[in-house]
Structure 1
């Protein structure tokens, strides 16, 4: 009698990785022109890593799309360009600066450009005929993102209607869409911030160095440490001080704050995240504080 050895159980990270790779392959088989939305942050870098694993030894079969506000941290842009070159990826860039220069957009009074990303994003999706757009949104980040399905339909104007969510049973995803519509896809929707960092450690994934503690000139505004830059500040009584900080999330410099930290290694970052009682967006993103439903309002307009 032949004895069949039981298959080893997947640990939590293996299961999350398997789900994400399955989603990438499903989209590649079902859609014509997918693209990965890429900011240079940890979540979108994780997406690229998973896409490489999903299709190896073949190259990743779709490009990256970066909506560049012009207010990005230089370290992140340098990391973006280095990663694209190292992996031989294609990069599409939609520049908010171009829209400001020709009058299609107007600079906001508060200086933040994060809400201005929506129109360049939608135009890039339309012009390049992308029918599926991968994003690094996770359900643990923010309440509006917790409402999203893994495959989330957007109408011909790029808008999301939370009242018209499709059911998703087990690992069956509905990518059906009409001409002009597209689908936003969130392969790491079920991951937590701690899962992301543990996986980054396990896989030895390179990140921009601003995710680790370093000395930076910052000023305090609305309970966050913001860096001086082209986005303005410090203003009035705000004063630049030198702090040891790191970033938990990377976005537009005008609304992404740093946290005081001494975590210079992955072990130290993981310990810090484990002890934190705030999500990274709740702790360091001013654009989410504009109203109780700030993220949901932007998503309805076409934001990621």
Structure 2
């Protein structure tokens, strides 16, 4: 036995868990969507979704909140991936919210803090009820408290007291109209696992 075998076994288990989660969501929700930025975590998330449903296409769209400050290569990569796998893409451009007055440009020019409103508006407009994200528990303390199925209220806010236990890989996706569930298939992955 080599020293790599436990690491490989761990990755196989993590991948199996993520694929199980994708399939659970497909069976339990009406309008799921995958958040996609083109970064390492969202690229892995999409890779796992493709594996979960192959040879059929991924049964839900990607949502990219475009800050307008992306490298051209990121947008080109996103578009190539969408075309290659026949995916549906929803793009929420922060600039559109600035142009119509729903957001104001920040004095420091940063756009990342402005993504929340376009994200929540686009989720509501499209009636997405499950939103896949690439969050991992090893990233920060707040994420460590998140469940894999993390209930959000009608304002898109996390309410710790309303989170459900997740015992024996059983997930509860029940939610009221207007609420959504954020789903984190990479919760148990580490950054090293992703790489």
Q: Which residue of 2 aligns with 1:162?
A: 160
Greater Cα shift, 68-77 or 19-28 = 68-77
Which residue number in structure 2 is paired with residue 239 of structure 1? none
Distance apart, 1:159 and its partner CA? 0.9
1:80 equivalent to 2:78? Answer yes
Measured in 2, the distance between the counterparts of 1:151 and 1:78 equals 31
1:124 corresponds, among 94, 101, 122, to 122
Q: Which has the higher contact order (CA 8 A, sep 6+)?
A: 2
Q: How many residues align?
A: 189
- Point out the more displaced range, 109-118 or 86-95: 109-118
Instruction: Indicate the residue corresponding to 1:22 in structure 2.
Output: 20
SS across alignment from 2:115? helix
2:67 to 60, 66, 69: 69
Aligned-residue offset at 1:162: 2.6
Question: Which of the pair has more CA radius of gyration?
Answer: 1
- Structure 2 match to 1:102: 100
Q: How much has 1:73 moved relative to structure 2?
A: 1.6
The counterpart of 2:194, out of the listed 196, 200, 210, is 196
Name structure 1 gaps, 5 residues minimum: 1-8, 198-304
- In the alignment, which residue of structure 1 is the partner of 2:151? 153
**Structure 2: runs of 5+ lacking an equivalent:** 1-5
Bigger share in helix: 2
Displaced runs of 4 or more, over 3 A: none
TM-score scaled to structure 2, two decimals? 0.94
C-alpha deviation, 1:33, in angstroms: 0.6
CA drift at 1:60: 0.5
Instruction: Give the corresponding residue for 1:43.
Output: 41
Paired with 2:153 and 2:111, the residues of 1 have a C-alpha distance of 24
Match of 1:104, SS? coil
1:147 shift after superposition: 1.2
Map 1:221-300 → 2, pairs under 5 A? none
- Distance in 2, matches of 1:173 and 1:147, equals 16
Cα distance in 1 for partners of 2:73, 2:144 equals 30
